[in-house]
């Protein structure tokens, strides 16, 4: 996790350089921050393996869990939280918002928040919409309750392949849906559950184990809790929503 003092130093150096042209910080350029996020868990087999990999490398991540899976495996959610990872809300049953009513969306998201709080005690809970689907009712609900959906910049497309090298290549070279071509401090999307036709997420776990040292060697710093500018909805999107 990027330490608070490191964040303050990076911010202070940026302000000094921008406002006054001072270069005292230029000898130590601000590191690029990268945010690992994992959707759809917890999975009783692959999430613990993923947590072992993250602990091995000393890296924290954000795990967007479904309420249904969290209810089934609260001990895994608790273990992840106690290890210092951030637990986020990914709806109750991974329903696509476009297929749900306002009331169904509210019930799904609020139920999952309650489940996460009962396990971890977290009060502020990040949210990511399944399929990154922001329907009109979804936007209306999120705006009304003052919430938002964490966006992505890179993804492993690990629902299409479980080859670790292909997953890494996708992260680095295959543009995420709706993401800008170049993005500083990227948010990476991977999955620790929802195996689909593959029946496994071992490829994602192995890719994570290779990807972390690769990016550390390039000077990146890993952090959890993606910052506020990594939202799907802007203030403009919520203007006029009552």
Quick one: pLDDT at residue 7? 41
130 contacts 94 by C-beta, under 8 angstroms: yes
Whole-number mean pLDDT of the chain? Answer: 87
* Band (27; pLDDT cuts 50, 70, 90): low
Task: Decide if pLDDT at 26 tops 80.
Answer: no
202 contacts 46 by C-beta, under 8 angstroms: yes
Domain positions in the chain are: 1-30, 33-231
d(CA 200, CA 134): 28
Tell me the pTM: 0.85
Architecture of domain 33-231: Alpha-Beta Barrel (3.20)
49 contacts 205 by C-beta, under 8 angstroms: yes
- Average pLDDT (166-174) is 95
Quick one: pLDDT at residue 178? 57
Q: Enter the tokens of residue 76.
A: 């895994």
Q: What is the pLDDT of residues 56-105, one digit of tens each?
A: 999 999 999 999 999 999 999 999 999 999 999 999 999 999 999 999 99
Q: What is the pLDDT of residues 186-228, one digit of tens each?
A: 999 999 998 777 789 999 999 999 999 999 999 999 998 877 6
Quick one: pLDDT at residue 19? 40
- Average pLDDT (225-237) is 84
């Amino acid at each position: 996790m990027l330490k608070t003092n490191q964040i303050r130093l990076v911010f202070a150096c940026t302000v000094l350089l921008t406002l006054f042209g001072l270069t005292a910080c230029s000898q130590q350029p601000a590191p690029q921050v990268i945010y690992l996020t994992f959707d759809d868990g917890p999975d009783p087999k692959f999430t613990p393996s993923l947590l072992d990999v993250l602990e091995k490398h000393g890296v924290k991540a954000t795990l967007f869990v479904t309420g249904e899976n969290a209810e089934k495996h609260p001990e895994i959610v608790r273990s992840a939280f106690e290890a210092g990872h951030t637990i986020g809300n990914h709806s109750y049953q991974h329903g696509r918002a476009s297929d749900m009513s306002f009331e169904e969306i509210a019930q799904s998201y609020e139920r999952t928040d309650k489940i996460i709080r009962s396990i971890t005690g977290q009060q502020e809970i990040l949210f990511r919409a399944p399929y990154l689907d922001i329907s009109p009712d979804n936007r209306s609900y999120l705006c009304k309750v003052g919430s938002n959906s964490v966006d992505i910049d890179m993804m492993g497309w690990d629902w299409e392949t479980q080859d670790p090298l292909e997953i890494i290549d996708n992260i680095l070279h295959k543009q995420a849906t709706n993401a800008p071509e170049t993005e500083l401090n990227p948010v990476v999307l991977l999955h620790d559950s929802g195996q689909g036709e593959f029946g496994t997420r071992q490829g994602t776990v192995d890719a994570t184990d290779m990807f972390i040292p690769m990016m550390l060697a390039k000077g990146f710093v890993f952090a959890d809790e993606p910052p506020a500018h990594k939202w799907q909805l802007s203030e403009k999107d919520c203007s006029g929503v009552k």
